[in-house]
Amino acid sequence: MTIAMPIALCRAELLTIEGRDATTFAHAQFTSDVSTLEPARWQWSAWLDAQGRARAVFALLRVTAERLVAWQPLGDAAAVRDALQRYVFRSAVRLETIGGWAVHRLDTPPPGAGEVAAIGGGHAIALPGTAPRAAWLAPAAGVMDDAALAAWRREDLAARLPFLAAALAGEFVPQALELGRIDAIRFDKGCYPGQEIAARLHFRGGNKRHLQVYRVEDDVAGLPPGTGVLVGETPVGRILYAAADPSGLSANALAVVTDDARGSVATTTDGRTLVPGA
Per-residue pLDDT, 278:
66
Q: Does some domain include residue 183? A: no
Q: What is the pTM of this model?
A: 0.95
Per-residue pLDDT, 45:
99
Shared-domain flag, residues 51 and 113: yes
- Tell me which residue range forms the domain holding 241: 208-278
Which residue ranges of the chain lie beneath pLDDT 50? 1
**Do residues 92 and 42 touch, judged by C-beta distance below 8 A?**
no
CA geometry: angle 60, 62, 67, nearest 5 deg: 110
CATH of the domain at 233: 2.40.30.110
CA geometry: angle 72, 45, 146, nearest 5 deg: 25
Per-residue pLDDT of 90-129, as tens digits, reads 999 999 999 999 999 998 889 999 999 999 999 999 999 9
Shared-domain flag, residues 154 and 223: no
Separation CA 166–CA 177 (nearest Å): 15
CATH of the domain at 93: 3.30.1360.120
Identify residue 209 by its one-letter amino acid code: R
Number of domains into which the chain is organized: 2
Q: Does some domain include residue 23? A: yes
**Do residues 126 and 132 touch, judged by C-beta distance below 8 A?**
yes
How far is C-alpha 231 from the chain's CA centre? 26
Chosen domain end from 133, 158, 183: 158
Shared-domain flag, residues 152 and 51: yes
Shared-domain flag, residues 33 and 102: yes
Per-residue pLDDT, 3:
58
Shared-domain flag, residues 153 and 261: no
Chosen domain end from 158, 177, 197: 158
